[in-house]
Chain A
Amino acid sequence: MMMRGLWKLTWIEIKVFLREPMGAFGTIVFPVIIFLVIGRVVGRRMAPAALAASGFIHVGLPVIVSLLIAVSAVLSLVTIISIYREGGILKRLRATPLRPETILTAHVIVKLALTAATLALMVLAGKRYYPAGLQVPLFSFTMALLIGTLSILSIGFLIASIVPTARFAQPIGAAIFYPMLGISGLFFPLAAMPPVVRGVARVLPTTYAVSLIEGIWRGEAWTAHLGDVAALAVGFLVCTAVSSKVFRWE
């Protein structure tokens, strides 16, 4: 009963999003093309054996790309929420029997679905650049990515709750997320960073998301990453609780 209208709203939001000039291309096709181009360039320079041995291409790149896609999906969520608020769309939807949480859940589902579609395409397209026999626990990886994305989404909602206008949503979101990713251990090992930066990284959910996703990609067991999952769950709960208090509908 609470979720009345959820699927219809979700479906319409997906359609509306795909109708945007850059919608389907920008979020789904474009990242896949970039990925393929990079794969080709790097793939040509290395023999398959060297490729398998290089940590960068088979551990680094897919994880980096997945996280970047997740973050860009969250940034687009932040922007859409603030555009909807500014245009009075959120308010109009609220003046119906729709529950506020249904409206927001629909947007989260849209972003998760689009992220999943992009990643699935990438997996299909990327197959030829990866040495056969490389065992990736696809289901576990998807779960890890989902957990990581949800925690990033909850930060996104917090940002969406407080950005003053739609114009600032994207830049503010980017200015928060990209540095967070920068010191998360995704590009450089945490150990190589100055102690202060490491201290900051330790309280950011992105750090735990990267650790979890990378670990699972490498084939490590979930039991080795329970701490990461717990940290992400706490982050998710805190961000959701705070944004439910400070969220502005208009």
Chain B
Amino acid sequence: MRTVIQVTGVRKTYGATVAVDEVSFEVHEGEIFGLIGPNGAGKTTTMECIEGLRTPERGTIAVLGLDPFRDVYKLQERIGVQLQQAQLQKRIKVWEAVNLWASLYRKKAIEGERLLELLGLTEKRDSWFMNLSGGQKQRLFIALALINDPEVVFLDELTTGLDPQSRRAIWDLVRGIRERGKTVFLTTHLMEEAERLCDRVAIIERGRIIDMDTPERLVARHCPERTVILATEDPAAEERLRAIARVESVSCTERRFTIRGRGDDLVTEVIECLSENRIRVTDFRTILPNLEDVFLKITGHSIRD
């Protein structure tokens, strides 16, 4: 597995404020890597240091073997960037922007019109930037980030402010980028987005990375709790459920049982117990912890605070 981005001991301050400190991680070729954390945690600063838009005070960064500060123009040829809250000229047309961007790079790889089609912007090619919807603007920015057929794509808070439908469409696009063999580095404060898209995530808080792994392993490590909710009229159910070794607690309100325990096997064991005892259920649901719970667990506060 080739390392595409290598960040070691990076620190960046703005005046007296330490934005990021001692940040180290690696991003591998062909993966979607997410930097996740609340607003103001240092995600954008970290990303912009890697893109060569900011210079860290300390630490080293290598992207595709290049130094983002010294080799910034060489690097820009090979990466694609979508910035948080960026704008274009109000009255630039969609095709003009794509055409302009295409002319800025040495290598010609992707045809603008095909890219617009891929991103569903063909109908909007003659529209002014200011007249696009939020989702269309984001898709245009993705088009601009892909125009040079980059090896690494940087996406900063890609779907913030979009409606759920546009958000899903954009997730599909990002998965498509990975399928074409590109590496994707993204930041998000939406845990659902990280879970659905990222192969690996690093959790950043107050400028420091506090843990890093695949979403599944992070959940397994920090939040082994599992919950099963089921509904049954069977009077023997409670006793049987309590007998399961892994079960830690069973509570019941109006024939609706909430069963709590640890480990992935809990769900299987509950199902086996129901089947062996021929307990008829009218409802069965599982509640699995997610990255949101992981975040709450390791920082002590919710990511939305």
Return A90 CB to nearest CB of chain B, in Å.
10
**Contact at A16–B76, with CB atoms within 8 Å?**
no
Given A12-B89, A87-B87, CB of A95 within 8 Å of CB of B81: yes
- Complex CA distance for A92 and B97, rounded to whole angstroms: 12
Since A96-B76, A96-B101, A96-B104 are in contact, a sample of 9 more A-B pairs with Cβ atoms closer than 8 Å, ordered by chain A residue number, is A4-B104, A4-B106, A8-B103, A15-B96, A19-B128, A88-B83, A89-B87, A92-B144, A97-B73
Q: Which parts of A30-64 form the interface with B (CB within 8 Å)?
A: none
- Complex CA distance for A97 and B150, rounded to whole angstroms: 12
Return A195 CB to nearest CB of chain B, in Å.
44
> Chain A, 1-29, contact with B by CB distance < 8 Å: what is the 0/1 string?
00011001100110110011000000000
**Contact at A92–B53, with CB atoms within 8 Å?**
no
Please indicate the chain B residues that have their CB under 8 angstroms from the CB of A95 in the complex: 51, 53, 76, 81, 83
Given A12-B96, A96-B101, A97-B105, CB of A88 within 8 Å of CB of B91: no
**Contact at B91–A19, with CB atoms within 8 Å?**
yes
**Contact at A89–B88, with CB atoms within 8 Å?**
yes
Report if B77 contacts A (CB, 8 A). yes
11 contacts between A and B (CB under 8 A): A4-B103, A5-B100, A5-B103, A84-B89, A91-B86, A92-B83, A92-B87, A92-B144, A96-B81, A97-B105, A99-B73
- The residue that A16 contacts in the complex, of B51, B92, B104, with Cβ under 8 A, is B92
- Complex CA distance for A92 and B84, rounded to whole angstroms: 10
- The residue that A92 contacts in the complex, of B73, B88, B106, with Cβ under 8 A, is B88
**Contact at A12–B51, with CB atoms within 8 Å?**
no
- Complex CA distance for A98 and B100, rounded to whole angstroms: 11
- The residue that B87 contacts in the complex, of A12, A19, A88, A96, with Cβ under 8 A, is A88
- Complex CA distance for A89 and B90, rounded to whole angstroms: 10
> Chain B, 64-93, contact with A by CB distance < 8 Å: what is the 0/1 string?
000000000100110001010111111110
Please indicate the chain B residues that have their CB under 8 angstroms from the CB of A87 in the complex: 86-87
Residues of chain A at interface, number, CB under 8 A: 22
- The residue that B106 contacts in the complex, of A12, A13, A97, with Cβ under 8 A, is A97
Return A250 CB to nearest CB of chain B, in Å.
9
Please indicate the chain B residues that have their CB under 8 angstroms from the CB of A15 in the complex: 96
**Contact at B91–A91, with CB atoms within 8 Å?**
no
Please indicate the chain A residues that have their CB under 8 angstroms from the CB of B100 in the complex: 5, 8-9, 12
Q: Report the nearest B residue to A18, measured CB to CB.
A: B91
- Complex CA distance for A120 and B106, rounded to whole angstroms: 37
Report if A94 contacts B (CB, 8 A). yes
Please indicate the chain A residues that have their CB under 8 angstroms from the CB of B106 in the complex: 4, 97
Please indicate the chain A residues that have their CB under 8 angstroms from the CB of B87 in the complex: 87-89, 92
- Complex CA distance for A19 and B87, rounded to whole angstroms: 17
**Contact at B53–A91, with CB atoms within 8 Å?**
yes
Given A8-B103, A88-B83, A88-B85, CB of A16 within 8 Å of CB of B91: yes
**Contact at B92–A12, with CB atoms within 8 Å?**
yes
> Chain B, 118-147, contact with A by CB distance < 8 Å: what is the 0/1 string?
000000000010000000000000001000
Given A87-B87, A92-B86, A92-B87, CB of A97 within 8 Å of CB of B92: no
- Complex CA distance for A231 and B101, rounded to whole angstroms: 39
- Complex CA distance for A99 and B76, rounded to whole angstroms: 11
Q: Which parts of A95-151 form the interface with B (CB within 8 Å)?
A: 95-99
The 5 A-B residue pairs with the shortest CB-CB distance, nearest first, are A87-B87, A19-B91, A95-B81, A88-B86, A92-B86
Q: Which parts of A61-95 form the interface with B (CB within 8 Å)?
A: 84, 87-89, 91-92, 94-95
- Complex CA distance for A242 and B96, rounded to whole angstroms: 34
- Complex CA distance for A140 and B173, rounded to whole angstroms: 58
Q: Which parts of B28-70 form the interface with A (CB within 8 Å)?
A: 51, 53
**Contact at B103–A13, with CB atoms within 8 Å?**
no
- The residue that A5 contacts in the complex, of B81, B91, B104, with Cβ under 8 A, is B104
Q: Report the nearest B residue to A94, measured CB to CB.
A: B53
Q: Which parts of A188-202 form the interface with B (CB within 8 Å)?
A: none
- Complex CA distance for A20 and B130, rounded to whole angstroms: 12
